Structures are given as C-alpha cells and as structure tokens.
Structure 1
Amino acid sequence: MSGVAVGGGGAGAGGSGAGAGRSGPAPLAPGTKPAPGYEVLAHLTRTGWLDVYDAWSAERACRCVIKTVRPDRRGREQLGERLLREGRWLREFSHPHLVRGYETVASPEPLVVLETLTGETLSHLVHRLRRRPAAADVALLGVQLCSAVHYLHGRDLLHLDLKPANVVVERGHAKVLDLSVARPPGPAPAGLGTCCYRAPEQARGGPLTAAADVWGIGVTLYEVACGEVPFGCGESGAQSEEGGGGTGDSCPRTDDRYERTQPAAPPLASRRRLPAALAAAVDACLRADPEARPTVAELAAALEATLPGHP
C-alpha cells in the first residue's frame, strides 16, 4: 500500500481486514457530504459494522479519515455510542504513537474524523516484504508499542486488539489505531479482540489486566519477526461482531475452545534466528498465565536492552 493508511475498525486500508467489497448497502458515493465541512473522496474499507472513508476537511484544507456506522447497522444504538466513545478518547489523547482524532459528530449520523496517516499497516508490510525485518527494527517497534500502551494504561484503558492490522508504520515510526474494543481493566465477556491475536483470558472471558495488552504486543512482534502468528488459526483479521473489534466475521475455527486452551506458543527462535534476549522477551509475552508475563515497563526495558548502542 502507498499513500493512505486509516484507523478502520479492525484494519487499515490495505491491511488484513475486510475490503470495500463486503455485502450490504452501497457506501457513500464520492462527493457526498456526511457532515457539514466534510466531503467523501473515496470509500476505503468496510467492516462488520463500520464504513471508513477518505475525505476532505474544508476547515483544515486537508484530507482526513471518516469512520461511520454502516447504514444497515445504524439501528443498533450501542454501535454509534461505541464509535463516538472511541472518537472522544482519540481527541482527548495526545501521544506520538497513537492516531489522532480531530472531531466527533453525533448527528445526523455518528461519525469520527481522524488524521490521515501516510505509511502502511504492519499486516501489509509483513506480507509485502521478502525479507524479515532486522532484529533492531523488531525491538524498536516493540518499544514504541510499549510506549503507546503505557499511555493508555495510565488512562485506565486496555487496548485489547493489538495486532499488525492496527499498527501503521512510516519510516520506522509506528502509530496504533482502533480503540473500538478498549475498556478499563476488570471483568469482560468472552471473545473480546481478534481471533489469533487475543490473549487466552480474552477468549475465555473474565477479569482482564494489562497483561492482555502485553500478549497483544508479543503476538504482533512474533508475526512481524517471522511472518506468521504463533498459532495457525486461519486467516488473520477475523473477529466476532459481538466480542471482537466488530468486523462481523466469524472466527475461522469452528471450535472456539481451541483459543481458550491454546498450547504453548512455539519459541520464536524455532521460527527465526534472532538475538537470544530479543526472542526471550517476545516469548515471555506469550505465557499462558497472565501473571507470568512481564509488565509493560519490564518488556520495554528488555527490548531496549537489545538495541544497538544501549549501555
């Protein structure tokens, strides 16, 4: 992908999420004005409950990204509230590794306006590159993800959907997208997040802690490092509409019990030769017991220690 990457509900443009060809009513045509001051330039992607558009902001005289509830999902009030909640968070938050929100509009239909990101999603990058990223690039990516997650946790939020499709990278700078399933630590229903990427405790349901996002960082780094997820659970990006990011796809595994009782992840070193300390840091994120995983601060320190020039 070149040009535009977006904060879609589960994927960036060109990522592993659904494209514009999903069934359902036609998306807004170019030239449509979904809210005063905004004009649709193109439809970028469709998920199970969202449409994402490349748009023009007259006030800012620049392109932007608009997320809005699909026309055939607008009767579900909780989806509009969920979208506006994400938009309010992104407007309030200010962090170099989080996508920036410009505005939320509640009527005539709920929509969120985000910055346009140049670059590409990690999911696209992983499948485009013939060579795996250098070990230092993997470690630096991990440090940046830890920084964004640390910021969210400081605001009493867990991301709960960290994956390559929700990270855009340009010239080594990563930005995390999509807070659509974010919530405070505590009890949560089973199935939050995305198949193949959610922590075992997310699949099971129950109390969630910062360790769930440590898992998300680990599984993302694992895929970036070796080109595949630790568990061969089918096509990446699939989610459940009720529990996950809301693409409306069912998990490719018909028996979700597999996710709830996952075997140990194969050691990263068995998939790719990497510095032992880096491989060990990623492997530690994927321990089944949440309490056995490193904290975000411990993970960041371990990754930083593998970077060239670190004392």
Structure 2
Amino acid sequence: MSGRATHGGGPAPLVPGTKPAPGYEILAHLTRTGWLDVYDAWSAERACRCVLKTVRPDLRGEERLGERLLREGRWLREFSHPHLVRGYETVESPEPLVVLETLTGETLSHLVARVRRRPAAADVALLGVQLCSAVHYLHGRGLLHLDLKPSNVVVERGHAKVLDLSVARPPGPAPAGVGTCCYLSPEQARGGPLTAAADVWGIGITLYEVACGDVPFDCGGTVDESEDDGADVADGWYPQAEEAAVPIASRRRLPRALAAAVDACLRADPAARPTVAELAEALETALPRHP
C-alpha cells in the first residue's frame, strides 16, 4: 500500500525529508481525504517504513479532528487481530499524528478497478469470513466500524486487513450520514440507533462490489468518497434508504448459499439481517471442503 499522490488542492502536504515528530521522516505523500493527509514514512526506532496519518494543515485548528485521529490511533494501538491494521504509536505534539504499520497488499477498491476478471466464489466467501472475524473482534470491544468498504480493506495473498476506525463508535444513537454515501446502511443514512447490523450491511455491500464490480445502488457515479460524521455527498439523498438492493444473482451467478448470504446482509430491516456469527457460518459453507 504505497505510492505517491497529489494533494488535490488546499495547502501542500509535507515534502519528503520533513520530520513531523522525533524519529519519523516523511518519504512520500500517499493520499488526502476530506480532513487527513496520509504519508509513507520511515521509523528510526523500528528501522522500517510505516504509515503516518495527520490532520490536513488547513484543518489543524479544529480540535475535534485531532481528538478523533488520536482516538483511532489509541484503539488500533491497543487492539491486536490478524485482520485489523496494527497501530504503533500516537503522537500529540507538535501536531496530532498516528503511526500505523505499512501494508504491502492492495485495497479491494484498487483490485476491483484493476482486475477485469471477477474473483472466484470461494475467494469472495473467504474474504467475507475474514471480515466477519475482524468485525466480531471490534464488536467484542464495544465498537461498530461503520465504514466497511473496499477502500478500507487491504488484501495480500488472500489475507485481508481492515483499515480506518475514524468513524467507529459504540452502538447507540448516531447522526444521519455517518460513513460513506454508497456503503452505509439505511439506518446510518437516516440517523438514529445503530447496532451490529450496520456492520453486517457493510460486509455484505463490500462482498457485493468485490463479486460484481459495482455496488447494488446508483450513487451518482461516485462510490468511494469518505465523509465526516453526519456529512453526505448527495444533499441528504441515499438510494439505499429508499429502495431495495438488487439481488446479487441478477449481476452474477454464484453458489446459492453465497448469494443468499450476501443478499441477507442487505435487507433494509436491520433485525432481518443475520448476526455476524450467522453470516460467518453461512459464508463458510461456500468454502471448498478439504479432507
């Protein structure tokens, strides 16, 4: 997960050679979101590359963003799971930053765009089982991820790791639009109490796009734009809040059990979706059986 990216407007990002905190040197700017800059960096203490996340220079005066970044970093530093990105350190001064492990695979969104041939059904099912494992772990620690999507999953040789806890929160009330427009569940779109079912939706819509190459809704051409809490890119309109997901069988032929599992994740009623454990069990039935 490396490369060089332009900053796309606003103040220029830090240049290579900059030392944003003792022991860290910027190697390259990777990407810019609505409020973050992400860098490839060198850790002198670990003698290895790492990823640094910082608040954009033009937004550093907004204290809530720094707190949000550090909160994510503390969670990732404390958590330990094979399908969750590792956090190394949080730095509060001179500016908030979070240090993460460098992942050498590709995001699912990049793979979907790059590889014309869709993955085998067994690979889709295995991905789903791994996402269920990571989500089960997060739920056990009292957090909902709320932003599961292909750009937040890196895969290397069939091993998936979930990224980005920037909008994660405990179950309960939430404002409308928490998450990313085309991937959030209907209840996230509307606002109100959120449960583990919101992440089941996130797993399902991620598997749907990986299997078919697109999401089951018309999102106006932009399907991967990260948003801040309560923000949206469609002036308050979310297709998943008004229409049912197109069954995956209409887009691609898959084993019946796998297709049924993905469709079940995308039921409009959160109570009608499977639990994470039920989903994992259903997905495992689509995996090849070995003696």
TM-score, length-scaled by structure 2: 0.97
1:310 offset after TM fit, Å? 6.7
Over residues 66-95 of structure 1, what are the superposed CA-to-partner deviations in whole Å (9 max), with x where a residue is unaligned?
Answer: 000011000100000000000000000000
Structure 2 distance, partners of 1:155, 1:170, is 26
1:229 offset after TM fit, Å? 0.3
| Matched AA of 1:237 | D
Say whether residues 1:28 and 2:14 are aligned partners: yes
Instruction: Answer yes or no: is the 8 Å Cα contact 2:7–2:13 preserved in 1.
Output: no
Q: Secondary structure at the match of 1:55?
A: strand
| Matched AA of 2:281 | A
Residue 60 (structure 2) aligns with: 74
Instruction: Answer yes or no: is the 8 Å Cα contact 1:198–1:216 preserved in 2.
Output: yes
> Which of the numbers 42, 47, 66 marks the counterpart of 2:33?
47
Say whether residues 1:285 and 2:265 are aligned partners: yes
Residue 183 (structure 1) aligns with: 169
Over residues 249-282 of structure 1, what are the superposed CA-to-partner deviations in whole Å (9 max), with x where a residue is unaligned?
Answer: x51x34x334463311111011001001100000
> Which of the numbers 227, 232, 238 marks the counterpart of 1:240?
227
Q: Secondary structure at the match of 2:180?
A: coil
| Matched AA of 2:191 | G
Structure 1 distance, partners of 2:286, 2:252, is 16
Structure 2 distance, partners of 1:37, 1:259, is 46
What pairs up with 1:77-96 in 2 under 5 angstroms? 77-96=63-82
1:238 offset after TM fit, Å? 1.8
| Matched AA of 2:271 | E
Structure 1 distance, partners of 2:244, 2:185, is 12
> Which of the numbers 227, 247, 264 marks the counterpart of 1:267?
247
Structure 2 distance, partners of 1:96, 1:179, is 16
Q: Which runs of 5+ in 2 are unaligned?
A: none
What pairs up with 1:74-223 in 2 under 5 angstroms? 74-223=60-209
RMSD over equivalenced CA pairs, Å: 1.4
Structure 1 distance, partners of 2:12, 2:172, is 39
Residue 297 (structure 1) aligns with: 277
| Matched AA of 1:293 | R
1:191 offset after TM fit, Å? 0.4
Q: Percent identity?
A: 81
Higher relative contact order (CA 8 A, sep 6+): 1
Structure 2 distance, partners of 1:30, 1:139, is 40
Instruction: Answer yes or no: is the 8 Å Cα contact 1:211–1:293 preserved in 2.
Output: yes
How many residue pairs match? The answer is 290
TM-score, length-scaled by structure 1: 0.90
| Matched AA of 1:226 | C
Structure 2 distance, partners of 1:194, 1:304, is 28
Q: Secondary structure at the match of 2:49?
A: strand
Structure 2 distance, partners of 1:293, 1:119, is 31
Q: Which runs of 5+ in 1 are unaligned?
A: 6-12, 245-249
